[in-house]
Amino acid sequence: LPLEGLQAGGSGPLYLKLRQSLEDAILSGKLNHGDALPPERDLADYASISRVTVRKAVDDLVRDGLLVRRHGSGTFVVKPVHRVQQSLSRLTSFTEDMARRGLTTTAQWIERGLFHPSPDEMMALGLPADALVARLGRLRIADDMPLAIERASISAEFLPDPIRIGTSLYAELDKTKSRPVRAVQRISACSLKDPDAAMLGVPAGSASLSIERISYLASGRVVEFTRSLYRGDAYDFVAELTLSD
Ligand code: 16G
């Protein structure tokens, strides 16, 4: 790491200079993602600066998401995030969206099974209390990167065997001709708490988009009620706007 001469070169606070050299090392690839940063004590000795200064520079880079501290094992360079540009006007499935970008979808299951509906599910899906809903809670991952947590509720009538579904819910619904053709979606801002933040691999308090979707069959029946948390640092939702007449 090019840390010699930090004391001598240029003006401005030392921690900012250190921060800049670390950032340059990360962005230029001298430090690769996954690499461990040398212990703060060694950095301080090497650059002949105080540990407080090192800590301040590292804190800044952790806050900006370039470094992550892992308890007990050190500080590591974070894999850079490629933001996903997601159209807001097409009713697509996560698996399809990622496949179109050449990424492979995997899921970590949070919840999966048949349950009696909660009051929210009864209202959204129009079901009586004694009906059954299939719940699919998934951490959605594209090529190793966790992008979203999705909790989908589907009337058991459309998905009687949730345990057996593959990667894609919409592909499953396709098989029984119950893939939705229309949806209403609401997006709002929120900040992530643990354990959601930890699952998504970001610090607690990170920005997120909370998305609710209710989707419908052509007949007007509700198929899906899904609540999701999308990583704020990984998603841009894009809509084309036209002048109304
Ligand atoms: C998208 C939808 C989600 C739907 C899922 C199906 C949003 C915010 N959510 O992620 O409602 O259940 O696609 O994807 O767009 P799948 O077919 O890969 O399971």
Residue nearest to atom 5 of ligand 1 (CA): 93
pLDDT band at 71 (very low <50, low <70, confident <90, very high): confident
| CB 208 near ligand 1, within 6 Å | no
The torsion angles phi and psi of 228, rounded to 5 degrees, stand at -130, 155
pLDDT band at 30 (very low <50, low <70, confident <90, very high): confident
Average pLDDT over residues 221-226: 97
Mind listing the pLDDT tens digit for each residue in 211-221? 999 999 999 99
pLDDT band at 8 (very low <50, low <70, confident <90, very high): low
**pLDDT given at position 57:** 93
Of 84, 88, 94, the residue with max ligand 1 atoms within 8 A of its CB, to mutate for a pocket test, comes to 94
- Residue 130 identity: D
**pLDDT given at position 2:** 64
Q: How far apart are CA 92 and CA 64, in angstroms?
A: 31
Q: Residue 78 Cα, ligand 1 centroid: separation in angstroms?
A: 27
153 near 102, Cβ under 8 Å?
Answer: no
Task: Please say if the pLDDT value at position 96 is more than 80.
Answer: yes
**Sign of the C-alpha dihedral computed for residues 71, 73, 74 and 80 taken in this order:** negative
Average pLDDT over residues 60-81: 83
Of 182, 213, 215, the residue with max ligand 1 atoms within 8 A of its CB, to mutate for a pocket test, comes to 213
Mind listing the pLDDT tens digit for each residue in 12-26? 788 888 998 898 888
Residue 135 tokens, joined: 């719940």
Please, what is the average pLDDT of the chain? 91
**pLDDT given at position 147:** 95
SS3 of residue 241 by DSSP: coil
**pLDDT given at position 26:** 84
Q: Residue 94 Cα, ligand 1 centroid: separation in angstroms?
A: 5
Average pLDDT over residues 46-51: 88
**pLDDT given at position 5:** 61
Q: Residue 210 Cα, ligand 1 centroid: separation in angstroms?
A: 13
Residue of 100, 98, 221 lying closest to 150 (CA atoms)? 98
ipTM for the predicted complex comes to 0.97
Task: Please say if the pLDDT value at position 28 is more than 90.
Answer: no
* Structural domains of the chain sorted by starting position, each given as residue range(s) with its CATH number in brackets: 14-77 (1.10.10.10), 84-238 (3.40.1410.10)
Q: How many CB atoms lie within 10 A of CB 211?
A: 18
| CB 226 near ligand 1, within 6 Å | yes
Q: Residue 241 Cα, ligand 1 centroid: separation in angstroms?
A: 23
pLDDT band at 10 (very low <50, low <70, confident <90, very high): low
Of 89, 91, 93, 231, the residue with max ligand 1 atoms within 8 A of its CB, to mutate for a pocket test, comes to 93
**pLDDT given at position 72:** 84
Task: Please say if the pLDDT value at position 101 is more than 90.
Answer: no
% helix, strand, coil for the chain, step of 5: 25, 30, 40
Q: Which atom of ligand 1 is nearest to the CA of 172?
A: 17
Mind listing the pLDDT tens digit for each residue in 131-188? 999 999 999 999 888 999 999 999 999 999 999 998 999 999 999 999 999 999 999 9
Is pLDDT larger for residue 120 or for residue 48? 120
Q: Residue 93 Cα, ligand 1 centroid: separation in angstroms?
A: 4
| CB 211 near ligand 1, within 6 Å | yes
- Residue 16 identity: L
Average pLDDT over residues 104-121: 96
| CB 168 near ligand 1, within 6 Å | yes
